[in-house]
Structure formats: C-alpha cells, structure tokens
Structure 1
Amino acid sequence: MRARLANAAWALASRPAATAFHRALADPERAQTALLLATLRANANTAYGRAYGFGRVQSLRQFQDAVPVVGWDEVAPYVDRIASGEANVLTAEPVRLLEPTGGSSGGTKWIPYTRTLQTQIRAAVAPWIADLFRSVPASAHGPAYWSVSPAVAQERTAGGLPVGFEDDGAYLSPLHRTLARATLAVPGALRHVADPEAFRYATLRHLVARRDLAVVSVWNPTFLTLLLRPLRAWADRLARDLDRGTLSADVPDAVAAGLRPDPTRAAEVRRLIAQTTTEADLVAALWPRLALVSAWADGHAAGPARSLQALVPQAAFQPKGLIATEGIVTIPLWGHGGGAPALTSHVLEFVPEGGGRPRFAHEVETGARYGVLLTTGGGLTRYRLGDTVEAVGQVAASPLLRFVGRERAVSDRVGEKLHEGHVAQALAALDLDGFSMVAPDDTSAPIRYVLFSDASGLPTAARRLDEALQTNVHYALARRLGQLGPVAAFRVRGDAEAGYLAGCVALGQRLGDVKPTALHRDGGWADRFEGDWVA
C-alpha cells in the first residue's frame, strides 16, 4: 500500500512536466528555439560563451553558424579548468560536481553537472513516469526495482569539486527522490557491496521477499538475466533467510536493515521451486504481479532483450530511451515504436549519416539515420554524443527515434576501418545462438580478429564472418596484403555474459555503463573469457 500511494503521488507530481513535454512535441521548433535562447543567454558571459558570441545568437540557424560542433577532445581543456576550481568557464551557474563516465569510445570523462542540468534530466524522467503509470496502471500498484550502480570511491578534484553523485537518486528533486525511495524493493545501500556474488544474492534476497513487485528497470538486459540465473540454486538459502529475517551474505548492515521473518513467503518459495520446471515459470510464479520490465533493446542489445523477455513472460517490456551521462536524447512512450526526443530537456541536433547540415527535430526525415549533438544546461554545446539514431516514425509533430549503435565505433589496427554496424550485420547473418562478439587479437602475427561465442559450429562461422567482413574494401585490402590474418574462433565456456561484464569492468567501465556490443575495440579478450581456441 505504501508503494502504491507513493507511485500515485509521483505520477501526480510528474504531470506538469509531462504536459510541457507533450506541448513541445506538438511544436518542436518553437520549444527548441526557446530552450536554446534561454541557455545561450544564461551563459553568454562565460569563457565559452564569449568565445563564440552566444549573446549575438537569435535563431537556430545563427546558432549553427556561430558555434562549432565539438567532441570530448575539444571540451576536455575547459573541464580541466573547471576541475581546477575556475568558475564561469562553460556555465555561469556553479558546477555542483563532475560525474565520471566512460565507454568503448575512450577513457574516463568528467561531465559537469549544474542545478540546471539536473532540472533538465527531471524534465525527461517526469513524462516517462506519467506515461508509464497511465499506460500500464499495474506498474504503479507495487514496489519497483531500479538497478543501482556500484559506488565509486568518493574523491574531489584539485579545485575541490566532488566527483560522482552520492546515489543514483540524486538526479531527482527532493520530492521525487522521497517518493521514489518509498517504492524501492531493494535498498540503495546495495551500491556499497563490491563483491559481485554478494551483490547478486543480496539483491535477490530483497526481491524474493516482495511478491508484489511491479516494475523492474535495468540498463543492460544481460544484467537482469544474470541476476535471476542462480534463483533455483540459491532457493534453499533464500528460503532460510526469509524464514529468519536474515541476509546470509557479507554486506553492510544497512543492506539488511528492515528485513523481517516471513515464514509464509519462505514456504511459498519452497513450494514454487518444487512445482516449476523452467526458469520462466519460476520467475512468473515468484512475481505474479510484475507488470513491466524496462531495459535496453536496440542495437546489439536486441538479442539479449529478447532472451530477457522470454524469462519474464508475465511482464510487459519497454525499451529504454537513449540516455547518456551527458544528457537525455529520447524518452520512451508506451505504444510507440521509438523514443520521443527530449525537447524540454536539451537542444538536440541530428547530423545526417551522409554528412551535411545538422537538422533540428522538426527537420528530421523518417527513414534517415543521424548522429546526435547535445546542448545542455551543464555547459556542453553542440557536443557530439557519438550515438547513431534512426527516425522510425512520428509522434505529434516530432520524430520517433531508435538507437542504432555507436557513431564512431571503429576498430582500425592496420587501416581496416572495421565498423561496429558492419560487424553487427555480419553476426546477425550467422544466426548464432547465445553470446557473440568480435574483438582484435593483437598478440597474433599478423594481427587478426576473433569471434568470441558460446555457440556451436564456430570454425564455419568464423570463415563466413571473415568473408562477410571482406565486403569492407579496407578490411579486404588488409587481408590481401597479409596485414590481417583470417578471423579466428574462441569458444567461451561457462557464463559468457558474466565474463563480458566482468571484462568490461576490469577495463575501467562502470557496471551501469556496460552495453552489449558486436565489436569491442580492445584486445586481450582470450585472457578475460574462460574458453578455448577452436581450429
């Protein structure tokens, strides 16, 4: 009942922002112009604003003429100045903290967060929540599991700025944060559990206690699949903990706070384990009121998302919008085949795949693909996010967008210019079951690419993959010149998805930043996976 009341209050508090968002969808040019001019006026006297004449810009087109498109290399020197304590660099408003992010495109980046940027993110979360609770009413009838990111070591920059949010809910306003916490099925203190097995067990212990679980929201669909996998193996231990009100894992006291003995639920868990034969049946029986699962489902996450949907048959599935640490690009709307642009959050531009002038939301054409530029209240201006989207339809007067992949996910060891999109198409044509990924092997002579998979028939698959990759003229030339060897095959043993997640974390990514990929540009994966070379 507590969660249901909190959800009702959350939906009510989200309505004003949702109304503004839908008004913007009906007139995207007007909404984006107003947001742009307000942003430029606020920062006209900053170092960046003076350099590019923010104060003289009066229209969307003048903005494009005056201000350059930038990537992280151009932004980093300004962020270094902010980190050292200098004010009025990118924003007139004080920077509250620097949020670290990373990924396949490079090392760690520190994204400046201001109060305005946090407000902009809330302006995107609110319409999603309002639409979700209205479209799937049962999703508001119980508690939710929002996956938590492991805590980063708290540190400060040389200029005294905090690095990283203290908890995931810090993006929300105090009111929304209070309401969201009242719906949590799992305590936020879990982010301080460093051991992966203890983290998984403690999460399941809390989830199994909640028969009324209504929503599960995670980023990577593989994360939830791996989380649920040991349910049956841990059933006796979970039932004992339910019986006693305990948590038999090495975790901080705050993680176990509030647990109470529940012999009725313990008996039910034992009975359901005995009565069910498949994992999907067990999941459906344990959480019969689970109404919604939200996770990535576009790009290379499509396969893992389908596997997850099969594991939670009782729940509706909603793909995530396109969300980055830098800002929010799209918001999922129920019943639409793509995400709606976050028009009340940031100024969005879309660079045509073949080049040309970046388009604003009202200029996007259905069927075309675009790179994304963000202008945010955190000081990023015409910032190339590195993601590619496809316009797949329309909502009101605005485009519906689907994430396709990383814009510049290219591996180029010897001039082969291998793009992730090409590799993803080639892997899809192989129709391999389970996990599959391609990565370079820099230890071989000559260098080669490796198909890492837990599927059968890998020698044939590797040969077919090598042939498919040679439709890229640069890859084909490197093969003919002997600069690249043929694709090799490595059969992954054990839990391939878990090995991939662990490998990415070992490379410095945060768990919440790890995305499925067809092509990983780092080598060394034969040492990270358990398995064998296949000839």
Structure 2
Amino acid sequence: MRSIIQLFGKLFAPAYRRFERALNYPELTQLSVQQEICDRLMASDYGKALKIRSVEDWQDVPIVDYDTLEPWILGQEKRQQIPLTTEPILFYEKTSGSSGAIKWIPYTLSLRRSFNQMFCVWAYDLIKNGPRFSTGKIYACISPQLNVADASSLQDDLDYLDGWLRWLLRPWLVMPNNLNHLHNAQEFKHQLALALLQAEKLEIISIWSPSFLQVHLKYIQENQELLQQELHNKISRVGVARRRHRLQLLGENPIPWTQLWSNLKLISCWDSANAADQAKGLQSQFPGVLVQGKGLLATEAPMTIPLIAAGGYVPVLDEVFFEFEDNNGSVYRLHELQQGEEYTIILSQKGGLYRYRIGDRIRVTHYYRQTPCLEFLGRHQAVSDLVGEKLQSNFVHHALHSMNLPEGCFKSLVSLAEPPQYILLLDSAATSKEILAQQLDEALSQSYHYQRARSLGQLAPPQVIISAQIPEILALHRLRSGSIWGGIKHPILATSPISTELLQELQRTSS
C-alpha cells in the first residue's frame, strides 16, 4: 500500500511544483490570474454591462457582496447559464456559514478545477512531509440530506473534485452504501458509527467542523452496547482474536479512540477562530495524531492551504485573485501585505464572482518563500446589538477565555430578544451555572456599552446553560433550516436572537 501512496505522490507532484514556483513570484502570479479572470469577466454579460474592456478597467469593477450579485446568480431560478460567466453551471452549492441567510453559489468546471488543484497540492505535501501513511483509508465528510427539498446540494467532500480524481480516490474511502441518502439524523449517526467502527485500517479523517466528529464519538460512547451487538457478526471477516479485542475496546468507558483506530494518523478539520478550542479537544482525544487545520476554504473559493513545509497557511495564489482591505478602507494586493497586520478578503474566482467581499478576516503571520501566510481570524463585523451594547465577536472571544472554561469545550454566546439578555451555551463546565453567569457578566462588563446597558436595566443578567447535547441540538436546528451538517460553523457570538422554541429545547437538557 505504501508504494501505491507514493505513486499518488508522483501523480500530484506536477501541481505541487507549479504551486511552489508561484510562491516565489506572488506579484507576477497574481497578475496572470487577474488577467485570466478579467478575460472571463469581459466575455460575460456582467462585464459588458460594466463596460470592462481590459484589465486596466479593473478598478471600475464594483466591490460587491452576495446580495448585490444574487439577481445575476439566480434571477427567478437556478439556471444552467448565468450572466456572470460564459461557462455552463454544473451545479449550485449552498453556503452554511455562521450568519446570514443561505446563499447559492454557482459552480463551473473552472471553479471545480481550482478546488482540484488545491487538493493535489495539499495531498502531495502530506505524502512528502506528513505522517508515513500506509493504508490510505480515508473517511471524507458526508452529511445527511435532512432537508429533502435541497437534495441537489453537495453532501460529500469529494464532490468538489474533478471526476478523474474522485474515481481514483473512491476505493480508499470508508463510505457505507446510501449513507448520504438517509433523511433521519439518528439513523445517519448509527450507520456512520457502524461504518467507522468497522474501518479498522482508518488512517485519515477529513471533516469540516470538529464538532461534527465530536457528536459521532459521543453517539458511539453512549450506544456502545447496542453497537457491540450489531458489530459482533459484521466484523467476522477479521481474525477472531482481533475481533474480540476491538469489541472489548468498544466496551470500555471512556473508549480508547487511538487504540480503536490504531492506524489513524491525520484528522483534517477547521482549527481557527471559533473552531480552535474544539480542534484542541480532538487533539487531546487523539494524542499522537496530526490534527491539521483546513485553512481558509469556503463554498465560494479555496483561499488558503495548510502546508507543513510552510508552517502555516499559504494563499491559493495561482487560482484565485486576492485583494485585501484594511480598517481604513484601503485596498492592497497580495504582495503588498504587511506581516502582523489584519485585513478582510476581497476575492475574484473562476466561477463568476468578481471583487466579491466574502467577509473573512485574516492576519499575516509570516512569509513562506516570497508569499505571505494568512491566519483566519473570523468573520468581519460579527456584532450583536440588542439595546445598543454592540458586542463584537473578538471581544466576546477574549472575554470567554478570561473565564478559564474547560479547554476544548464548546461555547457560544447567544442573545434573547425578550427580555433582552445574553445566554452562554456550554457543553461542559467545572463550575456552577450561577458562578459562571456572574463571571460572564463581569467579563462582558469590560465593554462600556454593555456595562451601561446593564446598569440602566436595559439588559437582564446573563444566564448559562450547560449540556453535553448542546452542539448536536444546535446542529440539528440548523439542519432543519437547510444547512449542511458537516459544514456547520457554531459562532462564538450569535448575531441574531435565539428563538423561544430552540431556547426551551436547550433548557430541557440543562444540568
């Protein structure tokens, strides 16, 4: 198997070498990508409407958000041809971000190839510089289609890749039949648990949100006896002694995950901003396993790749044209960025989004070769404002960290409209709800506007809800609204008030 994996490395090597050369010449590479994307823009009805005749007219292309482009993307319905590009639309993929309404992003062959190139570079770096892979068995995130009306959306990570690469990777996948056609969350968890438990040689887990894996590990732990019974016959193909050993491991409390999947070498997941603590939680559960961040990867475009060789996240500069806006509204090119500074991303990609304000904020950590490495900080301008308190996500992040909550625990601050107040959701805690609520109030009172609203009685004292079921309840609530489970981001600060029904469901599970 190791020799086959090395052959994969040779297959991906040309893409990696091209990318490595591009990192030495970021300005020239970006000018080339800009010209290619501008040529596509000029050929489109959108570009003609803007009267863009050459790359010299680039500054005449407006910087836009999704709401501005939505009439050009959807019109009255999802179409195979849209005015933003001359390429046919292969499919539409919906976003499932932490804020705002669902957005539909059109995918063309060229955009999918951008994701494809990113994957080849990432895979080569792992084969060359990462753990010594020997089995190649991989679980790539699959999400249930609980909202049947939206069943046209992608559910499998590999659907972002070109057909030849999907075909090449299929034999290595841990993928139970028809798992992505299940419409019941409990049945999905059960079937996925059985598949993962039977995957003795599992070597790679590729997911989006760390909480997605945590939910399924929790399901396995809570249903270990039932799963033991069902697996008794299902894993009869392996040796009797080894089968008994695996069933014995499954019966332990807590289950020793690294012994259950002794070949596991890599967990690929989000590990920045709101996902950082949950990723640390996975690392503590899987000591010795490389828990690698995904980088900045959005439905709209691949933006950064984690490279072991770079010691950080490098921009996909040969597929996406980047511009960056600072706090003063000045716009910069990639090669103009300053180390240590923070910016928001404006991107142009090959699927029809031009000068698109995606809302992600980054910091320049260091340079690799001649290219800046970018750390994802979170969404730009995530603000909750019930009565003028204007809490920002960065402030809330620091406030919660000052409370010495358990490392790796799930935490999200939500608001209630009536009476106006804040509620901290935790999946575990070593301190009582009452003490934590007092600590939370003191931490948030470091904000002048919050403290004033509390002293005037505009905001009720904050509450704390603690329940191990919180991440799953929130995920299932978002699923019913059309989100994709594997891609759900739980914000550290929810910008819209929580519904009464969801709050009551959370309170019922509280300890």
Q: Could you state the TM-score of these two structures normalised by the residue count of structure 1?
A: 0.87
Contact 1:152–1:164, Cα closer than 8 Å, also in 2: no
For 1:225 and 1:84, locate their aligned partners in 2 and report how far apart those are by CA, in whole Å.
Answer: 35
For 2:508 and 2:225, locate their aligned partners in 1 and report how far apart those are by CA, in whole Å.
Answer: 31
Tell me which amino acid in the other structure corresponds to 2:48.
R
Number of the residue aligned with 2:416: 441
Contact 2:210–2:269, Cα closer than 8 Å, also in 1: yes
Contact 2:315–2:373, Cα closer than 8 Å, also in 1: yes
Deviation at 1:311, TM superposition (A): 0.9
Contact 2:271–2:279, Cα closer than 8 Å, also in 1: yes
2:382 to 406, 409, 428: 409
Deviation at 1:221, TM superposition (A): 1.1
Tell me which amino acid in the other structure corresponds to 2:405.
L
Q: Are 1:271 and 2:248 counterparts?
A: yes
Q: 1:462 to 1:336 in 2, by over 3 A?
A: farther
CA displacement 1:442-495 (0-9 Å, x = unmatched): 121xx1112223422333332333333344344344334443333x21332342
Number of the residue aligned with 1:526: 503
Deviation at 1:318, TM superposition (A): 0.9
Deviation at 1:186, TM superposition (A): 2.4
CA displacement 1:44-101 (0-9 Å, x = unmatched): 032221233432224xxx52x2212111111111112383648451011122222112
Paired residues in the alignment total: 504
Equivalent runs, 1:118-517 vs 2, <5 Å = 118-139=112-133, 141-151=135-145, 163-165=152-154, 167-187=156-176, 189-245=178-234, 263-273=240-250, 278-279=254-255, 282-334=256-308, 336-352=310-326, 354-433=327-406, 434-444=409-419, 447-453=420-426, 454-455=428-429, 456-486=431-461, 488-517=462-491
Q: SS of the residue aligned with 2:436? A: helix
Q: SS of the residue aligned with 1:111? A: strand
Deviation at 1:338, TM superposition (A): 2.5
For 2:93 and 2:245, locate their aligned partners in 1 and report how far apart those are by CA, in whole Å.
Answer: 43
Which of 414-423 and 114-123 deviates more?
Answer: 414-423
CA displacement 1:92-132 (0-9 Å, x = unmatched): 11222221123332111110111111111112111001101
Percent sequence identity over aligned pairs = 31
For 1:171 and 1:146, locate their aligned partners in 2 and report how far apart those are by CA, in whole Å.
Answer: 12
| Unmatched 5+ stretches in structure 2 | none
1:93 to 70, 87, 95: 87
Tell me which amino acid in the other structure corresponds to 1:364.
L
Deviation at 1:345, TM superposition (A): 1.9
| Unmatched 5+ stretches in structure 1 | 157-161, 247-258
Contact 1:7–1:180, Cα closer than 8 Å, also in 2: no
Greater than 6 Å deviation, 4+ residue runs = none
For 1:482 and 1:166, locate their aligned partners in 2 and report how far apart those are by CA, in whole Å.
Answer: 46
Number of the residue aligned with 1:73: 67
Q: 1:209 to 1:32 in 2, by over 3 A?
A: same
Tell me which amino acid in the other structure corresponds to 2:10.
L
Q: 1:188 to 1:173 in 2, by over 3 A?
A: farther
Which of 123-132 and 264-273 deviates more?
Answer: 264-273
Number of the residue aligned with 1:16: 14
For 1:9 and 1:492, locate their aligned partners in 2 and report how far apart those are by CA, in whole Å.
Answer: 49
Contact 2:34–2:321, Cα closer than 8 Å, also in 1: yes
Deviation at 1:325, TM superposition (A): 0.5
For 1:111 and 1:99, locate their aligned partners in 2 and report how far apart those are by CA, in whole Å.
Answer: 5
Deviation at 1:19, TM superposition (A): 1.4
Which of 428-437 and 365-374 deviates more?
Answer: 428-437
For 1:278 and 1:238, locate their aligned partners in 2 and report how far apart those are by CA, in whole Å.
Answer: 15
Deviation at 1:5, TM superposition (A): 6.2
Tell me which amino acid in the other structure corresponds to 1:229.
K
Deviation at 1:41, TM superposition (A): 0.8
Q: SS of the residue aligned with 1:380? A: coil
Deviation at 1:312, TM superposition (A): 1.1
Q: 1:203 to 1:422 in 2, by over 3 A?
A: same
Contact 2:434–2:464, Cα closer than 8 Å, also in 1: no
Which of 44-53 and 106-115 deviates more?
Answer: 44-53
Q: SS of the residue aligned with 1:323? A: coil
Q: SS of the residue aligned with 2:63? A: coil
Deviation at 1:163, TM superposition (A): 4.5
Contact 1:365–1:391, Cα closer than 8 Å, also in 2: yes
Deviation at 1:243, TM superposition (A): 3.8
Q: SS of the residue aligned with 2:167? A: helix
Which of 376-385 and 477-486 deviates more?
Answer: 477-486
